[in-house]
Structure 1
């Protein structure tokens, strides 16, 4: 009797919501939009690209998700800068996070301009003046490619090296830079310390780069346990 009632309930759910149900049961979705909606293309250069490839004609009659508040076609928008701002943010104070990052960029610009004017003419071409390029290069230099995860085997716990996905690599790199900037003397401001850490990391120097190298050395030392990933 209970089985018959359960089958009737599943049939009723499939009839009322055929999009979110399958033959094996109901697929739970925490979004107000069905899963067949596609992500929006809001950057102008990406829109021009899909028009050239003919992909825009296929998307003309496809339901599209609405963009987020942070996703804009402005030339000042950058997904890496937006992500880094979110990592700086604490307790929902996004305006404060944006202000800190703007002050960091200003400090980087002033520091790099001073180095540019003091450098010899043949050395000036190697000095990066754009703060965004400093940020991108710093994140690239401090992002690890391997990490250690604890795996229990035979009553013991082993630190097993595993490769990281690109998204996870950026996550580690950004958070390491922010944590290094917070580990500062009391009289130094956060944005000044963050600017210093970004410039050092962009030059492949500093504490965060050393932290990445130390992690890679630990992964190399524990490579004998790498096979525990598949056992």
Structure 2
């Protein structure tokens, strides 16, 4: 008993000696995130925000943030969600193979229907962004207890969480398919279905909105 108490008290000191510090706390709270895109910088220059931000300390930009034409914030987030156990190289390879499958499927569709060439999107990144936008929920249910009873109350979803849920649902739907098919192919099929407002993820979003609609009588509990 005494030994366990001493170990618990010495743990913070041991972590400091070994250099295990919280990297998230290396900036003070008044530091702001870096604005690395030129488009955002130009839009800020047209407003008074630019002069205000000029005197505020800025955090260093992340190593995966870039102004390159090949950089896409949503694709980068999707890559992070695919990553397991810190193996980002494997996640990048899986996403690249998924893009290859998407490109091949769309080119086959163009060859079968040449008259609809202008309507078919062949860029896999655009398809992924469109699929994520189509899968984003607007509302979600949260449990709120009133008078000993727990009600499922519909509440609006923040923009950040809606993007997270859309990507999470796409990955879950791809991983739930039969195990004999590789993940890049399964993910490509789900992205293609969602880009055209079809598939299980779109049905899941519509079912959630339908449940929120049926529980709208409890919406006032959100503020009470």
Q: TM-score, normalised by structure 1?
A: 0.80
Equivalent residue of 1:125, what SS? coil
Equivalent residue of 1:77, what SS? coil
Give the one of 195, 211, 218 matched to 1:218: 211
Alignment of 1:109 onto 2:103? yes
Distance 1:50 1:229, change over 3 A: closer
Q: Which of structures 1 and 2 has the bigger CA Rg?
A: 1
- What is the CA–CA distance in structure 1 between the aligned matches of 2:137 and 2:95, rounded to whole Å? 23
Q: How many residues align?
A: 201
**1:134-163 deviations in Å (ceiling 9; x for gaps):** 011101111110101111111211111111
Alignment of 1:91 onto 2:96? no
Deviating runs (4+, > 3 A) in structure 1? 44-62
Distance 1:228 1:54, change over 3 A: closer
Alignment of 1:177 onto 2:170? yes
- What is the CA–CA distance in structure 1 between the aligned matches of 2:28 and 2:131, rounded to whole Å? 39
| Equivalent residue runs for 1:55-70 within 5 Å | 62-70=56-64
User: Could you tell me how far 1:44 is from its partner in structure 2?
Assistant: 3.3
Long gaps (5+) in structure 2: 1-23
User: Could you tell me how far 1:41 is from its partner in structure 2?
Assistant: 2.2
Report the counterpart of residue 36 of structure 1 in structure 2.
Answer: 30
Distance 1:60 1:144, change over 3 A: closer
Report the counterpart of residue 75 of structure 1 in structure 2.
Answer: 69
User: Could you tell me how far 1:46 is from its partner in structure 2?
Assistant: 3.3
Report the counterpart of residue 18 of structure 2 in structure 1.
Answer: none
Distance 1:224 1:49, change over 3 A: closer
Moved more, 197-206 or 95-104: 95-104
User: Could you tell me how far 1:52 is from its partner in structure 2?
Assistant: 6.1
Q: Which one scores higher on RCO, CA 8 angstroms, separation ≥ 6?
A: 2
User: Could you tell me how far 1:38 is from its partner in structure 2?
Assistant: 2.8
Long gaps (5+) in structure 1: 1-29
| Equivalent residue runs for 1:194-205 within 5 Å | 194-205=187-198
User: Could you tell me how far 1:60 is from its partner in structure 2?
Assistant: 5.1
Q: TM-score, normalised by structure 2?
A: 0.83
- What is the CA–CA distance in structure 2 between the aligned matches of 1:91 and 1:223, rounded to whole Å? 41
Equivalent residue of 1:158, what SS? strand
Moved more, 40-49 or 135-144: 40-49
- What is the CA–CA distance in structure 2 between the aligned matches of 1:47 and 1:224, rounded to whole Å? 44
